[in-house]
């Protein structure tokens, strides 16, 4: 395994995700929000977070990819799957694994905002502000992390490591 060290253990992730679920539960009380997971990296965060949102809500998914096979973003974001739900006048929460350069979420938020939701918020498990290139910030953040290439819990390197139950730093 090419993991240099563990950055966030499974228990740390679960504790923080439970807290985020409680904050979202308070903020969206009585609103039936639509949570939109960004494939593929958000899969584990999305499912675990939703289990801590015990109120009426809907799910949808959008696919976006920009990293290809490397550790550097291509800068070109591709939409690989659009949402299936009519978002007009709905309260939308985008659920994403990591806000890094921000190019992916800049593209995704612009795309979803064009569908005229009543509100649009962004919930990310990891925020890596040092690398930001796009003008975007998250409304809900699990952890702010340093500028290292992380994998696990949905995050990949060359499509591998998504199934690690923790967030780890890849060996350079
Ligand atoms: C990763 C990650 C975010 C994005 C963040 O996706 O899941 O979507 O990069 O990086 P950025 O802020 O620099 O744009 P990737 O393109 O690797 O696709 P994936 O979710 O299918 O792994």
Instruction: Give tens-digit pLDDT for 56-74.
Output: 999 999 999 887 666 777 7
Rounded distance between C-alpha atoms, residue 41 and residue 36, angstroms: 13
Query: Is residue 121 included in any domain, yes or no?
Result: yes
Which residues does the annotation mark as catalytic? 100
Query: Is residue 24 included in any domain, yes or no?
Result: yes
Residue 66's pLDDT is: 82
Query: Is residue 161 included in any domain, yes or no?
Result: no
Q: Determine the structural domain holding residue 138 and report its residue range.
A: 8-148
Q: Please state the rounded mean pLDDT for residues 135-143.
A: 97
- Tell the residue nearest (CA) to atom 14 of ligand 1: 104
- Tokens representing 96 are 């994403």
Rounded distance between C-alpha atoms, residue 152 and residue 123, angstroms: 18
Query: Is residue 169 included in any domain, yes or no?
Result: no
pLDDT 10s digits, 103-114: 999 999 999 999
Ligand 1 neighbours, Cβ below 6 Å, are 38-41, 64-67, 73, 96-105, 156
Rounded distance between C-alpha atoms, residue 27 and residue 21, angstroms: 10
Compute the mean pLDDT over every residue in the chain, rounded to the nearest whole number.
95
Which of 40, 61, 66 should be mutated for ligand 1, with most atoms under 8 A from CB?
66
Q: What is the pTM of this model?
A: 0.95
Predicted confidence (pLDDT) at residue 75 exceeds the cutoff of 80: no
Supply the CATH number for residue 54's domain.
Answer: 3.40.50.2020
Q: Please state the rounded mean pLDDT for residues 77-87.
A: 95
Query: Is residue 171 included in any domain, yes or no?
Result: no
């Amino acid at each position: 395994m090419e993991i240099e060290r563990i950055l966030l253990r499974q228990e740390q992730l679960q504790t923080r995700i439970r807290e985020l679920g409680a904050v979202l539960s308070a903020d969206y009380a009585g609103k039936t929000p639509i949570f939109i997971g960004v494939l593929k990296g958000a899969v584990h965060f999305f499912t675990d977070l939703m289990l801590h949102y015990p109120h009426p809500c809907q799910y949808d998914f959008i696919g976006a990819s920009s990293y290809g096979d490397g550790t550097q973003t291509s800068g070109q974001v591709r939409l690989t799957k659009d949402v299936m739900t009519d978002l007009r006048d709905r309260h939308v929460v985008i659920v994403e694994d990591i806000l890094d350069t921000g190019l992916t979420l800049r593209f995704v938020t612009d795309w979803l905002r064009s569908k005229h939701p009543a509100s649009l918020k962004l919930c990310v498990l990891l925020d890596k502000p040092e690398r930001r290139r796009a003008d975007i910030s998250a409304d809900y953040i699990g952890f702010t992390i340093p500028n290292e290439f992380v994998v696990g819990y949905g995050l990949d390197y060359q499509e591998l490591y998504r199934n690690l139950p923790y967030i780890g730093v890849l060996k350079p």
